[in-house]
Structure 1
Amino acid sequence: MRTITTDRLLLRSWRDDDADFLLDLESRWEVVRFLGAHPTTMRTREDALASIARRRAIDDPIHGIWAVTTAAAGRLVGNLLLKPIPLSVGEPSGGPNDVEIGWHLHPDAWGHGYATEAAAAVLDDAFSRGLAKVLAVTDPDNHASQAVCRRLGMTHLGRTTRYYDSPNELFEKLPG
């Protein structure tokens, strides 16, 4: 997987030695509470290693799941993903898969603009590689992620049940 850099951040592949950080990150309810229709906290280091293996298994020229680190110190701060969105049961597929962008950061990294900066870099990279649009699917109560979507210039498309078998607020970003 390619590395993406910004002035302050480095987005890279997840490594096995990131397992303790990932376990700490995803064992926190305040971090995972908005992830998917049925969020759960991570419980063991083995779960973290299995999750890292799944993240590294994405072999695509555009999609990926990156570890977000500070560029200067290499300190892990969170996760950024760009991947096809699973449709809700019963939704017609028709056409190419919709692609979503998403993020979750460690509470120690909240409020520093890292999510916006990392997402903007991944969007720029994806659009430069020909991706036609990107969606963000946010829990209706996840006002922090919705604020990031707005800072990224994403258009709010309203509430939908098309993805993740649950109601979500949908945002869209087009190139340009």
Structure 2
Amino acid sequence: MSERLRLRLPTEHDAEFVQDMYSRVEVTQFIGAHDWVETTAEEALNRIQRYRERLGRGTGVWLIETVDTASPVGFILMKPIPFSAHVKGQPEEDIEIGWHLHPEAWGSGYAAEAAELLVAHARRAGHPRLVAVTNSENIASQKVATRLGMSHQGLSERYYGTTCELFILDLRS
């Protein structure tokens, strides 16, 4: 928890927020390699279930909510990131940090603030490094990664079978 934000697991009570947020093309346009939106309550509940299933040792997807009003503003994630098919022989999986915020929360600093909470969590969990990947056009997310102290590695095809801007944060120092 920070002064402004709290992270928690999403519940079925968050379905209306999830449905509203992921039905917006401005939110989903940079998530994944294809165009998509989710507009139904069933899709929202399925997403919540998938997010809850990602909880693991030092990993998960958490809802970000404000401390003062308990209003949801988005999601923050820390999870194993899938290597592209051509990447072979890696000794360990990489851990991705990412954020999805509702447009009404954009520009508030919430993404970086929530991500700072997860960086501290990653250090406690013993993760050696975090990676973030963004679409080349997603300048806002790139600014969040830079604000976290992540090092920009340029374009990479290492993850998700697509070309992304890659950022790395070494947690061993």
- State the TM-score, normalized to the length of structure 2: 0.96
Question: 2: CA distance between counterparts of 1:47 and 1:55?
Answer: 12
Secondary structure at 1:96 match in 2: coil
Amino acid at match of 1:146: Q
Question: 2: CA distance between counterparts of 1:34 and 1:53?
Answer: 22
| 1:149 equivalent among 130, 145, 156 | 145
Secondary structure at 2:90 match in 1: coil
1:90-145 deviations in whole A, cap 9, x for unaligned? 32142111110000101110111000000011011111221100000111110000
Count of paired positions? 172
Question: 2: CA distance between counterparts of 1:86 and 1:43?
Answer: 26
| 2:77 maps to 1:84 | no
Give the aligned partner of residue 63 of structure 1. Answer: 59
- Percent of aligned pairs with the same amino acid: 43
1:9-45 deviations in whole A, cap 9, x for unaligned? 0000010010110010000000010001114101211
- Matches for 1:75-114 after TM superposition, within 5 Å: 75-114=71-110
Give the aligned partner of residue 50 of structure 1. Answer: 46
Structure 1 residue runs of 5 or longer lacking an equivalent are: none
Structure 1 position 70, deviation (Å): 0.2
Question: 2: CA distance between counterparts of 1:165 and 1:142?
Answer: 18
Question: 2: CA distance between counterparts of 1:23 and 1:118?
Answer: 21
Give the aligned partner of residue 37 of structure 1. Answer: 33
Secondary structure at 2:75 match in 1: strand
Question: 2: CA distance between counterparts of 1:90 and 1:173?
Answer: 23
Structure 1 position 59, deviation (Å): 3.4
Amino acid at match of 2:54: I
1:67-90 deviations in whole A, cap 9, x for unaligned? 000011100000100001112223
| 2:12 maps to 1:16 | yes
| 1:26 equivalent among 3, 22, 26 | 22
Contact 2:20 2:39 in 1 (8 A): no
Amino acid at match of 2:87: E
Question: 2: CA distance between counterparts of 1:110 and 1:58?
Answer: 25
Amino acid at match of 1:75: S
Question: 1: CA distance between counterparts of 2:122 and 2:13?
Answer: 27
Structure 1 position 62, deviation (Å): 0.3
| 2:162 maps to 1:169 | no
Question: 2: CA distance between counterparts of 1:33 and 1:42?
Answer: 12
- State the TM-score, normalized to the length of structure 1: 0.94
| 2:119 maps to 1:123 | yes
| 2:134 maps to 1:133 | no
Structure 2 residue runs of 5 or longer lacking an equivalent are: none
Contact 1:87 1:93 in 2 (8 A): no
Which runs of structure 1 show a deviation greater than 6 angstroms over 4 or more consecutive aligned residues?
A: none
